[in-house]
Every structure is written in C-alpha cells, then in structure tokens.
Amino acid sequence: MDHFVYRDGALHAEDVPLAEVAAQVGTPFYCYSTATLTRHYQLFEEALHGLDHLVCFAMKANGNLAVIRTLAQLGAGMDVVSGGEYRKALAAGVPGERIVFSGVGKTRAEMRLALEGGIRQFNVESEPELAALSEVAAAMGVEAPVAIRVNPDIDAGTHDKIATGRKEDKFGIPIARAREVYAEAARLPGIRACGIDVHIGSQLTELAPFEAAYRRVAELTRTLRADGHAIDRLDLGGGLGIPYTASNEVPPLPAEYGALIKRTVGDLGCSVEIEPGRLIAGNAGVMVASVIYRKRGEGRDFLILDAAMNDLVRPALYDAWHDIVPLAEPAAGAARAPVDVVGPVCESGDTFARQRPLPMLESGEMVAFRSAGAYGAVMASEYNARPLVPEVMVHGDQFGVIRARPSFDEMLARDTLPQWL
Ligand code: LLP
C-alpha cells in the first residue's frame, strides 16, 4: 500500500496534487511520501516485535537527508556502504551506535572515520579487510565491533546483477571457511568479532532462499559458540522484494519475513539486525515526467519524455518494469494503445518501456513512474549534461524540495580548465 492515489481526477502524493509540485519544481522530479516511508518502516518494526532487534535502512536505496532523518526519527538504524553515507547518516541525526558499515572495499580512511564517530559494527567481507581494520583500530587504541559477512552459496532467484550470495559473487567469505576466519579474528588486536552477517541479494520474491541462508547462519552461530566465540548479534541483510506491478506475483509480506526470522534464528538469544532498503523506500516514491513529443514511427509510436535513463536507470540496467500512470486520471474505459516510452538521451538503451499500453498522451501531459523511491534518484547522473534530477518530499498537505535541481551555471562551474587551456 502507498499514498499515491487519484483524487478528483488528479494523482496525489498524500494530500498534494503532483501537478502542483510540477508547476513549482518543473519536471522531471522525484517525490516521496512521508506516510508511506513511515508505514513501511513500521511494518518491519511490528514484524520483529518481541525480538531484540534494529531495523537498519539500507541508505544505498535512497540517501536523501530528509528521507534518512524521517526514518531516524522513527528510531531506524542505517546500513552504510561508504564514508559518504556514514557522514550523511550522522548529519541526519543517526547516532553511531545505530550505524552498521557494509561493503567489500572499505578503505582505512573510512574505517578511521567510523571508529572516531562511533559505529555499531563493521560487516567485514574478507581477511585482508579484517587485517586492515585490526591495524587501524589497534593504532587508535580501540576495539572494532565486527560481524563477518558469510557467503552461504545460495541462489536468491533474483536478477543476476543483484544476486550476492552465490559463491561466484564477490561478497563475503565462503561459509565453509568461517571457523578459520573467526579464529583469526579472535587472535587479532583491535577486533571484537561479536556477530555474523549475511545478505544474499535484492528484490527476492520468495522466502525459501532467506530460510536456507538463515538456517545456515543459525548452525554457524552454534558452531562458533562451541569454538568459544561470543556471538550475540546477527545481521540478516536486506532484500525483501516489492510488487512493481499489480499483475506480478506478490512478494512475501514483512510479517511473514519476520515470522521466518523468529523461526530460524529466534531461539539463539541474539540481537537481530536487518537491512531493508527497497521495501521501505521503493513504493514510497514516484518520478514525474512530462511528454515532450508523441512520435509516429514505423509500426510503433514513441512517447518521448523529459526524463531519461540518467534520471531513472533501472529499466536500462536491469530491464526493470515500472508502472507508468498519467497524472490526470484517464476516464473509465479510456482507449489504450501500445507505445514505447523513451527519454531524450542518445542511445537506444534510453527506453523505459516497450509497447506499453497507455491512454493517448500528448505533448505537455505528465506521467508518474511508480515504485521509484528506491534506487531511483540515488543512481541518477548528469549524462548528456542533464542537470541532476531534483527531489521533493510530501508530508500530509505540505511539500518541500529536498534536493533542488542544479542550475546550468552550477553544473558548468564544476568543470575546471587546466593551465594549458
Ligand atoms: N544490505 C546489503 C549488504 C546490500 O548490498 C543491499 C543491497 C541491501 C542491504 C538492501 O537491499 P534491498 O532491501 O534494498 O533489496 N540497484 C539495484 C539494487 C541493488 C541492491 C544492492 N544491495 C536495483 O535497482 O534493483
């Protein structure tokens, strides 16, 4: 459920007509709903009720300061993957003890930054990283709390580019080598290995791969405890999928996911962290664009928008589907005809949808791409010298620009000429 619905013939974000935002901000832009973000976060809170837990929002899905602060005020922790995300989390008001640091390539500078500012744990993904963290922490005279990310060799059944738990993926250490690595961690100065971390992929639409992974983690917890390690926390990653279209199969609900967590690891007495990104932010955002032209091609029509692959890259990169709906509600039974929905960027990959049945839309009319709140604006670029897409947030009947569109002068000013020019 989200808060983007038609009211009086106009698509609203909560109580704000999106056309009103467009009139003020111009298109394209992203718009997020506070109520939807809040609701999705709370679904996870309810799902884990009764368990010592922390819901850490995966900031990579949507790193806007206003989004992070909204979630932080609800009590969310953050899962960060760079020094930049770590700084943003602190700037949004998230205390260090609610931040977990993931990622395969943390630099020593990033480790130092997090140890200085406070950190709940580092999710360590390799032995060289463990050794580097040990050196950095020991030199600072502190102990780094660590969960080792294990790779359970499980196929999450998702898109190849976002599956992370198979042995050929770059993530984690092979679970079969976990005992050795924990033994090494116990010997290293500056390291306190207190947890296990796992994340097998994104946009999972079945519970079975989670179940297989979490059972392996439970078994490993018992083994490591028998080896004398004080494992008292489990980071179970993110990855729960969302419905991108009503006709899709419906992914499991957070409540079912929570019940699975309790069933598989609930008896271990561990504190549990999860790192959802997409499920919290995905359906809490839309991208609004205007039609520039409707062009008749050979055997097909093209709807050319003012948004492009640089603003929303998911269709080009993962062949992802986003529902596209007009801002003005079509009359019941209005005729639909298939069109290719494309952007102005000079490559054929700049196609949002092929042969999508849509009502007749002409120049100047506006559409919204649904389910665009996760991995949308964060993945945007200025390709083709198109200014970075702005972001807006709605709260009831109010809205605010939470990232303004840069002016051309600002864009130009970021390039500098070397002395010989
Ligand atoms: N934790 C870790 C360690 C991750 O790598 C990810 C996502 C998450 C949590 C959050 O997963 P989520 O709950 O959002 O599925 N750009 C792609 C998705 C990349 C996901 C990367 N890792 C897309 O647009 O589909």
Q: What radius of gyration do the chain's Cα atoms show?
A: 23
The enclosing domain of 358 has a CATH number of 2.40.37.10
pTM: 0.97
Whether residues 249 and 313 share a domain: the answer is no
Let me know whether 249 and 127 are in one domain: yes
Separation CA 303–CA 321 (nearest Å) = 16
The answer to whether position 79 is within a domain reads no
Distance from C-alpha of 353 to C-alpha of 336, rounded to nearest angstrom = 15
Query: Which atom of ligand 1 lies nearest, measured to the CA of 320?
Result: 25
Distance in Å, CA 277 to ligand 1 centroid: 6
Ligand 1 near 199 CB (within 6 A): yes
- Measured from the CB, is residue 278 less than 6 Å from ligand 1? yes
Ligand 1 atom closest to Cα of residue 281 = 14
Q: Is 275 in the pocket of ligand 1 (CB under 6 A)?
A: yes
What's the confidence (pLDDT) of residue 1? 64
Mutate which of 278, 283, 312 for ligand 1 pocket (most atoms within 8 A of beta carbon): 278
Distance from Cα 238 to the centre of ligand 1, integer Å: 7
Same-domain check for residues 265 and 316? no
The whole-number pLDDT of residue 157 equals: 84
User: In this structure, which residue's CA is closest to atom 22 in ligand 1?
Assistant: 202
The β-bridge relationship of strands 99-101 and 121-124 is parallel
Q: In this structure, are 120 and 253 located in the same domain?
A: yes
- State the residue range of the domain holding 17: 4-31+282-413
- Among residues 239, 274, 309, which one ends one of the domains? 274
Q: How many domains does the chain have?
A: 2
Given 227, 247, 274, the domain boundary residue is 274
* pLDDT at 292 (0 to 100): 98
Ligand 1 pocket check for 242: Cβ under 6 Å: no
The confidence score (pLDDT) of residue 156 equals: 84
Residues 224 and 361 in one domain: no
Q: What pLDDT, on the 0 to 100 scale, is given for residue 170? A: 86
Structural domain includes residue 81: no
Angle (CA) 181 176 172, round 5°:
65
Any atom of ligand 1 within 6 Å of the Cβ of 322: no
Q: Is 277 in the pocket of ligand 1 (CB under 6 A)?
A: yes
Q: What is the pLDDT of residue 248?
A: 61
How far from 418 is each of 295, 409, 411, 415, CA to CA, in Å?
43, 19, 17, 10
- Quick one: residue 319, left, alpha or beta (phi over 0 = left, psi -120 to 50 = alpha)? left
Test site for ligand 1: of 44, 59, 60, most ligand atoms within 8 A of the Cβ: 60
Nearest CA to ligand 1 atom 8: 238
Distance from Cα 135 to the centre of ligand 1, integer Å: 29
**Owner of token pair 């390709």:** 383
13 & 114 share domain: no
Catalytic positions: 346
Distance 261 CA to ligand 1 centre (A): 19
Q: Give CA 137 to chain center in angstroms.
A: 29
Could you tell me the mean pLDDT of each successive run of 10 residues in the chain, 421 residues long?
92 98 98 98 98 98 98 98 98 98 97 98 97 98 98 87 82 94 98 97 95 97 98 98 81 97 98 98 98 94 98 97 97 94 96 97 97 98 97 98 97 96 97
Instruction: Return the closest-CA partner of residue 99 out of 82, 78, 128.
Output: 78
Which of 207, 270, 62 lies closest to 76, judged by CA? 62
Query: Does one domain contain both 325 and 207?
Result: no
Residue nearest (by alpha carbon) to ligand 1 atom 23 = 375
| Gap from CA of 158 to ligand 1 centroid (Å) | 11
Q: What is the pLDDT of residue 404?
A: 98
| Alpha carbon distance 28, 277 (integer Å) | 23
For ligand 1, atom 7: residue with the closest CA:
202
Angle in degrees, CA 255, 256, 259, rounded to 5: 85
365-399 burial, b at 16+ Cβ within 10 Å, e below that, comes to ebbbbbbbbbbbbbbbeeeeebebbbbbbbbeeeb
Question: Is 234 part of a structural domain of the chain?
Answer: yes
Q: 274, 304, 330: which is the final residue of a domain?
A: 274
